[in-house]
Structure 1
Amino acid sequence: MKVLLVEDHEGVGSLVRDLLQDEGFQVEWARDGEEALHLERTYAFDVAVLDLMLPRHSGFDILQTWRAQGRRLPVLILTARSALPDRVQGLNSGADDYLTKPFAGEELVARLRALWRRVHDQPSNTLTVGRLTLDLAGGPPLWEGQPVNLHRRERDVLEFLALNAGGYFTRESIFARVWPNDSLSDARTVDTHVRLLRQKLSGDAIETRRGQGYCFVG
């Protein structure tokens, strides 16, 4: 998922950028309203995270400009302005969601993924990426329409990579997410599980990039 982050505060912007990149998102960071408008015209984004109090065009102005131009980019407003009139104005201006600072990183990530699913008309418990359809409620995954029998850890690795499709993750970062409390294994077990997934799905389902790790491409 490619995210346009619009935030003028260096500390908050760095925090959100690093958080999203750690989750496998690609992030372009605009530090004022003019740069946000330029980036949105120049690149294709899946979703925008938009502050309201910005130099060179407020978040409200940016949002109204996009909607007046017919741009349908999903927008999550992330702001310290928590008063009801601000929330109402933001949503009435065309925002898809509204989250106030301070915020929990897990909630921000969950809301962005929910926006992505909504735009792609996917049920909340189903993820479709390329040839894979994954039932997040625990049903068997489908590869090219056919069920695939996976062991629990294979499924856990697949679910993590598919939820973050397009992002590259080292074996160490995958191990930390999928085996958080396992002191009997080490990160090299990730290589084994990826090899098994390639055998059961397709050899090109998961890419490897030297120095960056594994990426699910579907």
Structure 2
Amino acid sequence: MRILVAEDERDMNRLITRTLEKEGYGVDSCHDGDEALTYLESADYDAAILDIMMPRRNGYEVLKRLRSLGKETPVLFLTARDSIADRVAGLDLGADDYLIKPFDFDELLARIRVLTRKRSTHRTSVIAIGDLRIDTGSHSVVRGARAIELSSREYAILEYLALNQGKVLSREQIENHVWNFDYSGGTNVVDVYISYLRKKIDSGEGKKLIRTVWGTGWMLKEDA
């Protein structure tokens, strides 16, 4: 999952970014509204966290412009302004959620999980493909009775494949959703991580769930 964090308080921005990265999200961050729009217009994010009181362009203006472009990126507003009028204004512009500062990071993560689920067909925290179970809340992965330990990057790729099960995802799509703009890329880094996942998910199993579509990409799919 790829998330944009637009927060002008630099210490807060770093804390949010590090927290999300530890959870396996690909994160881009910026400090004003104009930067936020540039990022949002340039990439397809699974969610955006916008501070309302940002320089150059506030969060309301960013959201209004985003929606006028037809982009349905889920947006969570962060603000110290807790009046009902402020919340109503944000929701009326198309915000999906609202979190008042100061906030608990566990609550922020829970709200992000809800927002990212809105972009998929899954409405619970558990995704099932055959005997594979992926819990997007706890980031736990089980196949049959076997618990599978994954790194944060391995989990992020697996979750992205699972949320798009049955669809072929290209190398570029996986890079764009799991890594951020600072990622310089590599000719086979995605291939390497897919290999890691195959060993952990499919090794020793009769049914293989991770499929290669030669010349196109990969998908997660159960045999018919």
Q: TM exceeds 0.5?
A: yes
Tell me the residue number matched to 1:48.
48
- Higher relative contact order, structure no. (Cα contacts within 8 Å, ≥ 6 residues apart): 2
CA change 1:204–1:125 in 2 (3 A) is: closer
Cα drift, residue 127 of structure 1:
2.4
Tell me the residue number matched to 2:157.
166
- Within 5 A, what are the aligned runs for 1:64-83? 64-83=64-83
**2:149 pairs with 1:150:** no
Percent sequence identity over aligned pairs: 34
Which ranges in structure 2 are unaligned for 5 or more consecutive residues? 159-197, 211-218
Q: Which amino acid is 2:84 matched to?
A: L
Give the structure-2-normalised TM-score: 0.64
CA change 1:113–1:21 in 2 (3 A) is: same
Q: Which amino acid is 1:150 matched to?
A: A
CA change 1:136–1:164 in 2 (3 A) is: closer
Tell me the residue number matched to 1:4.
4
Give the structure-1-normalised TM-score: 0.66
Aligned counterpart for 2:203 among listed residues 199, 210, 215: 199
Q: Secondary structure at the match of 2:5?
A: strand
Q: Over the residues paired in the alignment, what is the CA RMSD in angstroms? A: 3.3
Residues 51 and 77, structure 1, Cα contact 8 Å, conserved in 2 = yes
Most deviating of 1-10 and 114-123: 114-123
- Within 5 A, what are the aligned runs for 1:21-36? 21-36=21-36
> 1:171-192, CA deviations, whole angstroms, 9 ceiling, x for partnerless residues?
xxxxxxxxxxxxxxxxxxxxxx
Matches of 1:111 and 1:102 in 2, distance apart? Answer: 15
Count of residues in Structure 1 that have an aligned counterpart in Structure 2: 168
Which ranges in structure 1 are unaligned for 5 or more consecutive residues? 143-147, 168-193, 206-216
Matches of 2:14 and 2:34 in 1, distance apart? Answer: 19
Residues 6 and 49, structure 1, Cα contact 8 Å, conserved in 2 = yes
CA change 1:164–1:109 in 2 (3 A) is: farther
Matches of 2:200 and 2:28 in 1, distance apart? Answer: 34
Matches of 2:13 and 2:61 in 1, distance apart? Answer: 20
Cα drift, residue 164 of structure 1:
4.5
